[in-house]
Amino acid sequence: MTTAPELRGPRVLLTPIAPDDYSRLRAIHRDPDVVKWWQNPDGRAERGDVDADWPSTPEPGTIRYSVFHGKQLIGFIQWYAEDDPDFRHAGLDLFLDPAVHGQGFGRETIRILCAHLIDDLKFHRLVIDPEVDNTIAIACYRSVGFKDVGVMREYSRDRHGVWKDGLLLDLLAREFIR
């Protein structure tokens, strides 16, 4: 994968994650309203602990961005690619500071990254997989054109070791709502 470009929307700027962003991202990640859905952002945290190395140790193959509103770091978004030509698609994940929830920043952040993945990198299909109970995030994804594919039963474990169902959603480039 190549170096990630900055991506700009009307109110939001996505910049490649930088060391100066780590402490603020950790603070947002530790908020109970974020941890509830995003307990282990890079998949290497031990159960019950926030990974002290995150976000300095990226998951291999991910492109990661800090999300800014003006000079305020308000969240994190990442994407990865499945590059097998017969199955090529991109997947994404994000979280935002709960202090900015309900202000349209999630929708704008998703649109910015989706436009980049579709227009610049020519992905025809994108996927995202929130927990089934994360209705606010699911509504955001649907608002930009993601469609339900199906429930993935006992898809991921939460911080307490309980298996949770996930909802697989996908977005075809031609269905993207800009």
User: Dihedral through CA 129, CA 135, CA 139, CA 145, nearest 10?
Assistant: 20
The number of domains in the chain is: 1
Structural domain contains residue 24: yes
Structural domain contains residue 73: yes
Residue pLDDT, tens place only, 119-130: 999 999 999 999
Structural domain contains residue 62: yes
**Start-end of H helices in 102-143:** 105-115, 135-143
Instruction: Categorize the per-residue pLDDT at 57 as very low, low, confident or very high, splitting at 50, 70 and 90.
Output: confident
For position 135, what pLDDT does the model report?
A: 94
Pairing of strands 62-69, 125-128: unpaired
Structural domain contains residue 168: yes
Residue 89, pLDDT above cutoff 70? yes
Instruction: List the domain range (segments joined by +) for residue 55.
Output: 7-175
CATH number at residue 119: 3.40.630.30
Q: What gap in Å lies between CA 127 and CA 170, rounded to an integer?
A: 4
Q: Phi first, then psi: what are they for 39, rounded to 5°?
A: -65, -35
Instruction: Categorize the per-residue pLDDT at 81 as very low, low, confident or very high, splitting at 50, 70 and 90.
Output: very high
Residue pLDDT, tens place only, 147-176: 999 999 999 888 778 999 999 999 999 999
Structural domain contains residue 1: no
> What number of other Cβ atoms are within 10 A of residue 6's Cβ?
10
Structural domain contains residue 139: yes
Residue pLDDT, tens place only, 140-151: 999 999 999 999
Structural domain contains residue 2: no
